[in-house]
Amino acid sequence: MLWVKAFHIVFVVSWFAGLFYLPRIFVNLAMVPADSRAERERLLLMARKLYRFITPLGVLAIALGLWLWFGFGFSGGWLHAKTALVVVLAAYHLWCGRLLAGFAEGAPTRTHVWFRFFNEVPVLVLIAICILVVVKPF
């Protein structure tokens, strides 16, 4: 069980590294002047590579979490609340994919200020999940 939990945490941390950085690239993309094509293409390339890289990491983090849950008999309200937050996180991840497609199509995007607030969502979810899984308050 400890090996599964160790790799669960490794993939969780790797997934979050991308969930913290990808919206930061969106902040920069939303600030790129319209005539700076080279900079826009460079940021888009970084975002595409990052999104492709973190998607399997997120899948592995969740798969190992489910293995812990169903393979080792964990239970409790904390686990249901945690899983609900993970669904929010997965939706956030997919929303990033939609936003990235929008940037690539040159569709009008939200302001860089909006993306700064958007960037804070994974931080709040991470804090809540870590309290739930370590403290197990209910």
**By C-beta, is 107 or 134 nearer to ligand HEM?**
134
CA distance 69 to 57: 18
Interacting residues with ligand HEM between 38 and 77 (CB under 6 A): 61-62, 65-66, 68-69, 74
Which two three-digit tokens encode residue 69? 């849950």
Cα-Cα-Cα-Cα dihedral sign, residues 31, 50, 14, 93: positive
Least spacing, CB of residue 40 vs ligand HEM, in Å: 32
CA atoms within 13 A on the CB side of 56: 3
What's the DSSP call for residue 74? -
By rule CB under 6 A, what string of x and - marks binding of each residue 2-21 to ligand HEM?
---x--xx--x---------
Smallest gap from Cβ 94 to ligand HEM, in A, equals 14
Q: With both helix axes pointing from N to C terminus, report the angle between 77-105 and 2-31 in degrees, rounded to the nearest 10.
A: 30
Query: In the complex, what is the shortest distance from the CB of residue 121 to ligand HEM, in angstroms, rounded to a whole number?
Result: 13
Q: Which of residues 78-107 bind ligand HEM (CB under 6 A)?
A: 79, 82-83, 86, 89
